[in-house]
C-alpha cells in the first residue's frame, strides 16, 4: 500500500479525523472553503464539510463528531490514512453506517 504523505494526501485518500485546536500559524494551504496545516506526520484540516463532500477523498470525523455546516478543525496522522479503495476504508464505512443506524433507531424510540 502506498505511503500517504504531505505531498499526496489530497489524491483519493481515506482518513478518520479527530477534533483538535486550530493552529495559530498561517495555513500551509488554503482551498476555497478549507484550510490545511501539515508536517511530516500529521494533517490538520479546518472546514465546514466532511465525508464525501471533498473532491476525491473521504475524510470523516470520529464517530459522534459529525456536524455538517459547523466549522471544525480536526487532525489525522498520515500513517493512519489509506488509499480510497483499500480494505481499511471499506471496513470503516461499514462501522460508521451501523453506528448511524443505531443512533437513528435510538432517536425514534425516544420520540415514540
In a domain? residue 40: yes
Q: Which domain holds residue 93?
A: 13-111
In a domain? residue 8: no
Query: pLDDT tens, position by position, for the chain (112 residues)?
Result: 678 998 988 888 888 899 999 999 999 999 888 999 999 899 999 998 887 556 678 888 886 666 667 889 999 999 999 887 655 554 555 555 554 555 455 556 666 5
C-alpha cell at 112: 415514540
Q: How many distinct structural domains can be found in the chain?
A: 1
Q: How far apart are CA 26 and CA 50, in angstroms?
A: 21
Amino acid at each position: 500500500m502506498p505511503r500517504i504523505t504531505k505531498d499526496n494526501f489530497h489524491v483519493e485518500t481515506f482518513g478518520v479525523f479527530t477534533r483538535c485546536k486550530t493552529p495559530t500559524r498561517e495555513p500551509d494551504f488554503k482551498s476555497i472553503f478549507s484550510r490545511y496545516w501539515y508536517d511530516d506526520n500529521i494533517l490538520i484540516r479546518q472546514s465546514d464539510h466532511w465525508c464525501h463532500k471533498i473532491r476525491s477523498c473521504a475524510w470523516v470525523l470520529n464517530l459522534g463528531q459529525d456536524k455538517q455546516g459547523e466549522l471544525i478543525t480536526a487532525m489525522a496522522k498520515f500513517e493512519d490514512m489509506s488509499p480510497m479503495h483499500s480494505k481499511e476504508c471499506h471496513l470503516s464505512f461499514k462501522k460508521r453506517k451501523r453506528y448511524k443506524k443505531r443512533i437513528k433507531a435510538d432517536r425514534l424510540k425516544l420520540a415514540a
